[in-house]
A = this chain, B = another copy of it.
Amino acid sequence: MSDEEARSSSAPLDIIAESLQRERRRAGLSLTEVAKRAGVAKSTLSQLEAGTGNPSVETLWALGVALDVPFSRLVERPGPRVQIIRAGEGPVLPSDHARFTGTLLSSGRPNTRRDLYLVTVEPGATRHAEPHIAGSIEHVVVSTGNLRCGPCQEPIVLAPGDYANFPGDEPHVYEALEPGTTAVLVMEHI
């Protein structure tokens, strides 16, 4: 990339500059006011919003508190808007067992932190899932049927409406106890 343009994605400092200004505007606050609340010099904030400067964590943290947004909102870029996936549509997870289907409903790009699946499981075969990347957590809400799932050592049984979460970074199982078992799976990558 040449110089000033097309850098609208990569550099963290530019993302911070954008985020800082966006969040401040949305809060309807003046630069002066935010600087005062955060306890940083307004000159510092001015430079940060201009993309100049390389804030320390303490400075950025203080600004996050003053703007009342989680820290990570300031260092990452926003996303799209509306999506619908009808039952039966959407990309289907490749599965070793025909009795297990997982449909990817929502996924962020590589550095995103949660995937949303609709899974259907039929009795007769236990799906042994290999561990995913470290730190991931799986959240399961059963819609219909009964599902045994969880870490291999300590699986749990969920009925419709039941919810559980467990580590996804160690071996775990999915097994239907009734035909037509469906569940919503939120795979969270921290």
Interface residues of A (CB under 8 A from B): 12-13, 16, 23, 26, 54-58, 60-61, 69-73, 75-76, 78-79, 81-88, 90, 105-106, 110-114, 116, 118, 133-135, 137, 139, 141, 143-144, 150-151, 154, 156, 158-167, 182, 184, 186, 188-190
Contact = CB atoms under 8 A, between A and B. Distances in A.
16 contacts: A56-B57, A71-B75, A71-B111, A73-B190, A81-B167, A82-B165, A82-B166, A84-B164, A85-B164, A86-B161, A106-B163, A116-B139, A118-B141, A118-B163, A143-B143, A143-B144
Would you call the interface of chain A mostly helix, strand, loop, or mixed? mixed
A71 B78 contact: no
